[in-house]
Amino acid sequence: MPQHLLIENIKSLYGITNPATDKKSGSQMSELNSIENSWIYTKDGIIQSFGKMYDETHQSLSAILQKEPNLTRINANRQFLLPSFVDSHTHLVFAKTREEEFVMRIKGKSYEEIAAAGGGILNSAAKLQQMSEDELFEAALQRLYEVIGYGTGAIEIKSGYGLTVADEIKMLRVINRLKHVSPIPIKATFLGAHAFPAAYKNNREAYINLIIKEMLPIVAQEKLADYCDVFCDQGFFTVAETDLILKAAANYGLKAKIHGNELGYTGGVQIAVQNHALSVDHLEYTGDDEINCLKNSETMPVGLPNCSFFLGIPYAPARKMIDAGLPFCLASDYNPGSSPNGRMGFVISLACTQMKLTPEEALNAATINGAFAIELSKTHGSIAIGKIANFILTKPIPSLAFIPYNFGNDCIDTIIVNGKVWIKPN
Ligand code: NIG
Ligand code: FE
């Protein structure tokens, strides 16, 4: 039986694009096209049509009502409908939270000092290595359900807390199991190059070899990842090491996504662009050279304001990038160290208050540009005929700007996933 859904009496249907639009750049990011007093009709989870409730002829809506008497009808009661968020950067498979490091940072230690002393990513790796695949899967599934409830309708998840052959593969298997049960699409990214394990501190080459000669062949053979990421930054992987790993990954057909320029002007952007990376993420240290480099590329710049907020580091200069004509994307970076929160609603509030994006720009950054960063623009990230019906219906609120304004409160009433009201499984 086909599933038909009609949502009526929408105060404003936001985020409409041409189906061919894959991202928004520069001044296009201010455009969040909308239809007031509207309806949207979906069949088997795919957007079929949308329009105005009270247009002169009222034809299309009446035709749907006549043709499809078994419609599920939702009265939006004059609230807003938006495309679901696309969160293109998360680490939501992890073993334990790290609030003890949070307290150490409050008392004055820096993120880098904690990492250099064996905490940080290595702390998460030690805990993940102790945990079974099943336990990791159960915990990650709950986090996935949690963020779907916050309005995320497509997501990327990275490995990178395994750091041994067996544990990186274990993490990727968990992500692939999540793919099988998830109602929203998941892209998997291999991040074996997240940190050097302590045993390789003085033999970096051996760990790079382990990634290239042992991990990557299994990842490719078992088709465990869509992308390959490297943490290219001071104290982590150098530009030359990043280049080696990304080139090896490309030989296996894995496109690049990089963590870069979080801790300094380290050349992460340039090496991302040279390797035709889909995205370069973090960008807290981005100057004119980086902006010029991105201008001549297809690489999506991704900001992670939760990380700046939580670690107390600078925010990526998003305003400058958009004013230079670049696209800009926002993601949560959900992880236990630098962003223990996957609420995209909070991400857009930070983008508005700290990066000076307008609400429209922030929403485009968190939807269509997120979809571009994980190659889902054809199916997600906007309201367009033929796209998947993943939506957010808001609570009674006065305006679109109220969503980021009312920070910490997502203003979500109903989540629609694949054309159905989403109810969190027990
Ligand atoms: O994106 N910067 C590198 N990786 C993660 C944090 C990892 C961690 O601290 O556990 C990030 O912020
Ligand atoms: Fe990250």
Q: Give ion ligand 2 contacts, CB < 5 A.
A: 333
Give me the mean pLDDT over the 182-198 stretch: 97
HEC string of the chain equals CCCEEEEEEEEEEEEECCCCCCCCEHHHHHCCEEEEEEEEEEECCEEEEEEECCCCCCHHHHHHHHHCCCCEEEECCCCEEEECEEECCCCCCCCCCCHHHHHHHHCCCCHHHHHHCCCCHHHHHHHHHCCCHHHHHHHHHHHHHHHHHCCEEEEEEECCCCCCHHHHHHHHHHHHHHHHHCCCCEEEEEEEECCCCHHHCCCHHHHHHHHHHHHHHHHHHCCCCCEEEEEECCCCECHHHHHHHHHHHHHCCCEEEEEECCCCCCCHHHHHHHCCCCEEEECCCCCHHHHHHHHCCCCEEEECHHHHHHHCCCCCCHHHHHHCCCECEECCCCECCCECCCCHHHHHHHHHHHHCCCHHHHHHHHCHHHHHHCCCCCCCCCECCCCECCEEEECCCCCCCHHHHCCCCCCEEEEEECCEECCCCC
CA dist list (Å): 268 to 93, 176, 195, 314, 349: 25, 28, 15, 17, 27
Phi-psi region at 418: left, alpha or beta (left = phi > 0; alpha = psi -120 to 50): left
- Pick the more confident residue, 302 or 2: 302
State the burial class of residue 59 (Cβ atoms within 10 Å of its Cβ: 0-12, 13-18, 19+): exposed
Protein fold of 4-83+380-421:
Urease, subunit C; domain 1 (2.30.40)
Percent share of the chain, pLDDT over 90? 93
End-to-end CA distance of the chain: 26
Q: Which CATH number is 85-373's, of 2.40.30.10, 1.20.140.10, 3.50.40.10, 3.20.20.140?
A: 3.20.20.140
Nearest alpha carbon, ligand 1 atom 8: 337
Q: How far is the CA of 327 from the centre of ligand 2 (A)?
A: 19
Question: What digits encode the pLDDT tens for the residues 68-109?
Answer: 878 999 999 999 999 999 999 999 999 999 999 999 999 999
2, pLDDT greater than 80: no
Contact criterion met (CB below 8 Å) for 342 and 306:
no
Determine the atom of ligand 1 nearest the C-alpha atom of 336: 10
The pLDDT, as a whole number, for residue 426 is: 83
State the burial class of residue 108 (Cβ atoms within 10 Å of its Cβ: 0-12, 13-18, 19+): exposed
300, pLDDT greater than 90: yes
Residue from 102, 111, 113, 121 to probe ligand 1 pocket by mutation (most atoms less than 8 Å from CB): 121
Question: What digits encode the pLDDT tens for the residues 30-44?
Answer: 999 999 999 999 999
Contact criterion met (CB below 8 Å) for 362 and 351:
yes
Ligand nearest to the CA of 120: 1
Determine the atom of ligand 1 nearest the C-alpha atom of 89: 1
Nearest alpha carbon, ligand 1 atom 3: 231
Contact criterion met (CB below 8 Å) for 246 and 271:
yes
Residue from 89, 92, 194, 261 to probe ligand 1 pocket by mutation (most atoms less than 8 Å from CB): 194
Question: What digits encode the pLDDT tens for the residues 349-380?
Answer: 999 999 999 999 999 999 999 999 999 999 99
Determine the atom of ligand 1 nearest the C-alpha atom of 98: 10
Give me the mean pLDDT over the 152-180 stretch: 98
Determine the atom of ligand 1 nearest the C-alpha atom of 307: 12
The size of the chain, in residues, is 426
Percent share of the chain, pLDDT over 70? 99
Q: How far is the CA of 407 from the centre of ligand 2 (A)?
A: 22
Nearest alpha carbon, ligand 1 atom 9: 337
Question: What digits encode the pLDDT tens for the residues 376-403?
Answer: 999 999 999 999 999 999 999 999 999 9
The pLDDT, as a whole number, for residue 69 is: 77
Q: How far is the CA of 121 from the centre of ligand 1 (A)?
A: 7
The pLDDT, as a whole number, for residue 118 is: 87
- The amino acid at residue 204 is R
Q: How far is the CA of 30 from the centre of ligand 2 (A)?
A: 27
Q: How far is the CA of 158 from the centre of ligand 2 (A)?
A: 8
| All structural domains of the chain with their residue ranges | 4-83+380-421, 85-373
54, pLDDT greater than 90: no
Average pLDDT, the chain: 96
121 contact partners, CB below 8 Å, separation of at least 6: 115, 160, 161, 163, 194, 195, 231, 337
58, pLDDT greater than 90: no
Q: pLDDT band for 335, please (50, 70, 90 cuts).
A: very high
Spatial separation of the C-alpha atoms in residues 80 and 298, rounded to whole Å:
32
**Other CB atoms closer than 10 Å to residue 308's CB: what's the count?**
22
Residue from 87, 90, 91, 158 to probe ligand 1 pocket by mutation (most atoms less than 8 Å from CB): 91
The pLDDT, as a whole number, for residue 158 is: 98
Q: pLDDT band for 59, please (50, 70, 90 cuts).
A: low
The pLDDT, as a whole number, for residue 1 is: 76
Tell me which residue has tokens 């909308």. 34
List the structure tokens of 80. 């807003």
The pLDDT, as a whole number, for residue 322 is: 98
